[in-house]
Structure 1
Amino acid sequence: MDRIRERLRSERQQTRARLADLTSDFDAVVAASRDTNADDEHDPEGATIAFERSQVDALVRQARRHLDEIDAAVQRLEAGTYGICESCGEPIAEGRLEARPVARTCIACASTRR
């Protein structure tokens, strides 16, 4: 369990660092849009500032959701239910947990939910 707890702690730390970088990127895009009078909506040379802001915002939301998933995994670990599929109640394969430590379901149940 200590190995799992350390893995989740490391994953949280990496996600928080990514979130800080993305937030900084988002702030820079917003600042750039305030500091320019350019009509970026009609710029044939590249993506619009609005598009870039939207892309970074989506990545920020994804990182925040991942932090929530990590917190939920830690709660399952503390409750003794970590590694048990929430759908069928069977153990989640170690390989799946290694690849995705926040997994809530086994591979079979994850494939049928799509």
Structure 2
Amino acid sequence: MEYGARERLNAARVDTVGQIAALTADLHGVMAAAYVVATDDEHDPEGATIAFERAQVAALLDQARQRLADLDDALARLDQGSYGTCAGCGRPIDPERLVARPAARTCITCAARR
């Protein structure tokens, strides 16, 4: 099961760390813009508010951090020898699912039950 799995997990982890860095920079930029711009953006008809942008970037950052935690958990399962075994039913997770979702903890049947 480990063949290729570690490489996929590590590649996904590197991508996710990069996303976290980019989103963190974006969030700092949005927050800095809020201090620089002294306008009432809540009533700006031209587009999204700074508060909306900040909330959107913060939500994406939270998702990326959760994805990183899931990938780290998957790497730990790989080291323990339980990677690729469904946490729900104990059966093997389809290898195609693991290619698509390297951090998957459950088979597609158990995932559909949630």
Q: For residues 53-78 of structure 1, give each alpha carbon's deviation from its aligned partner in whole angstroms, at most 9, with x where no partner exists.
A: 00000000000000000000001001
Identity %, equivalent residues: 54
Query: 2-side partners of 1:94 and 1:8: how far apart?
Result: 13
Partner AA of 1:109 in structure 2:
C
- Partner residue of 2:43? 42
Structure 1 stretches lacking a partner, 5+ long: none
Residue 23 of structure 2 aligns with which residue? 22
Provide the rounded CA distance (Å) in 1 between the counterparts of 2:62 and 2:7: 24
Structure 1 position 101 matched with structure 2 position 99: no
Cα shift at 1:2: 4.3
Structure 2: which amino acid aligns with 1:48?
A: T
The size of the alignment, in residue pairs, is: 113
Q: How does 1:1-114 map to 2 (within 5 A)?
A: 1-113=2-114
How far apart, CA to CA, are the structure 2 residues paired with 1:68 and 1:79?
16
TM-score, normalised to structure 1, is: 0.97
CA shift for structure 1 position 36:
1.0
Partner secondary structure for residue 79 of structure 2: helix
* Structure 2: gaps spanning 5 or more residues: none
